[in-house]
Amino acid sequence: MRVTLAKSAACLLLCGWFAAVALPLGWVFLNSLRSSQEFVANPFGLPWFLTGSPPDGRLSLEELDAAGARHDAPEIDLPRQLRTQFDLLDADGNGFITEEEARAAGLGEAQWGRSLRLADRPGSRRAAWKEVKANYAKAWVESRFSSFFTNSIIVTGTSLAGILAVGAMASYVLARFTFAGSRALFLFFISGMMIPAQLVLVPLFFQFTWMSQAGTRLLQPFGLELQMHDSLSGLIVIYIALSLPFTILVLTGFFKTLPGELREAGIMDGCGEYRVFWHIMLPLARPGIITAAIFNFIGLWNEYLFALVFVNAADKKTLPLGLASVSMQSQYKTDFGLLFAALVITIAPTLLVYMLLQRRLTRGITVGALKG
Amino acid sequence: MNRDYGRSIFIAVFLAPALVLFTAFVALPGVRALLYSLQRWDGLTEARWVGLDNFARLFREGDLFLIALGHNLFLLAVAGSLILVLALAFAAMLHRRIRGAGLFRVAFFFPNVIAAVAVALLWILLYSATDFGVINAALGAFQRMCHSFGWDWPRVPLPFPFLDSRYLLYSLIPMMVWSAVGFYMVLFLAAMEGIPEEYYEAAKIDGATPLQQFRHITLPLIREVFTVGVVFLVITSLKFFDPIWVMENQRPTRDSHVLTTLLYQKVFTEYNVGYGSAVAVMLFLLVFCATLISLKLSRAERVEY
In tens digits, chain B (305 residues) has pLDDT values of 456 788 899 999 999 999 999 999 999 999 999 999 999 999 888 889 999 999 999 999 889 999 999 999 999 999 999 999 999 999 999 987 777 888 999 999 999 999 999 999 999 999 987 767 888 888 888 888 888 887 877 777 778 889 999 999 999 999 999 999 999 999 999 999 888 989 998 998 998 888 888 899 999 999 888 988 999 999 999 999 999 999 999 999 999 999 999 999 999 999 999 999 999 999 999 999 988 887 677 665 544 44
pLDDT tens, residue by residue, A301-353: 999 999 999 999 999 999 999 999 998 886 677 788 899 999 999 999 999 99
Residue B96 lies in a domain: yes
- Return left, alpha or beta for B150; rule: phi > 0 is left, psi -120 to 50 is alpha, else beta: left
For the segment A55-62, the average pLDDT, to the nearest whole number, is 51
Band of the pLDDT at A371, cuts 50, 70, 90? Answer: low
Helices (H) and strands (E) in chain A, counts: 23, 0
Amino acid at A261: E
Residue B102 lies in a domain: yes
Per the model's pLDDT, the better-predicted residue between A197 and B96 turns out to be A197
Rounded to whole angstroms, the Cα distance separating A246 from A292 reads 8
**Which residue segment(s) compose the domain that B234 sits in?**
61-128+163-300
Rounded to whole angstroms, the Cα distance separating A254 from A349 reads 28
Residue B9 lies in a domain: no
Q: Do A40 and B249 touch (CB under 8 A)?
A: no
Distance from CA of B197 to the nearest CA of A (A): 19
Band of the pLDDT at A51, cuts 50, 70, 90? Answer: low
What is the number of alpha carbons within 13 Å of residue A225 lying toward its C-beta? 8
pLDDT at A193: 87
Q: What is the DSSP letter of B39?
A: E
Residue A119, class by beta-carbon neighbours within 10 Å (0-12 exposed, 13-18 middle, 19+ buried)?
buried
Residue B154 lies in a domain: no
Residue B256 lies in a domain: yes
Amino acid at B257: H
Q: Do B134 and A27 touch (CB under 8 A)?
A: yes
Q: Which of A1-15, A156-170, A189-203, B117-131 has the lowest mean pLDDT?
A: A1-15
Residue B1 makes CB contacts below 8 A (sequence gap 6+) with none
Report chain A residues whose CB lies below 8 A from the CB of B268.
Answer: 205, 309
Which of A14, A304, A369 lies at the smallest CB-CB distance from B116? A304
Residue B143 lies in a domain: no
Distance from CA of A94 to the nearest CA of B (A): 28
Report chain A residues whose CB lies below 8 A from the CB of B111.
Answer: 21
Band of the pLDDT at A71, cuts 50, 70, 90? Answer: very low
Rounded to whole angstroms, the Cα distance separating A255 from A263 reads 12
pLDDT at B130: 77
Distance from CA of B271 to the nearest CA of A (A): 11
Q: How many distinct structural domains can be found in chain B?
A: 1
For the segment A224-247, the average pLDDT, to the nearest whole number, is 93
Provide DSSP, A226-295: ---TT-HHHHHHHHHHHHHHHHHHHHHHHHHHS-THHHHHHHHTT--HHHIIIIIIHHHTHHHHHHHHHH
pLDDT at A225: 83
Residue B54 lies in a domain: no
**Residue in A158, A201, A202, A301 to test binding to B, most B beta-carbons within 10 Å:** A202
**A89 pLDDT higher than 90:** no
Q: For a pLDDT cut of 90, what percent of chain A falls above it?
A: 42
Question: Please, what are the domains in chain A?
Answer: 48-132 (no CATH), 143-368 (1.10.3720.10)
Residue B1 lies in a domain: no
* Residue B104: CATH number of its domain: 1.10.3720.10
pLDDT tens, residue by residue, A272-313: 888 889 888 899 999 899 999 999 999 999 999 999 999 999
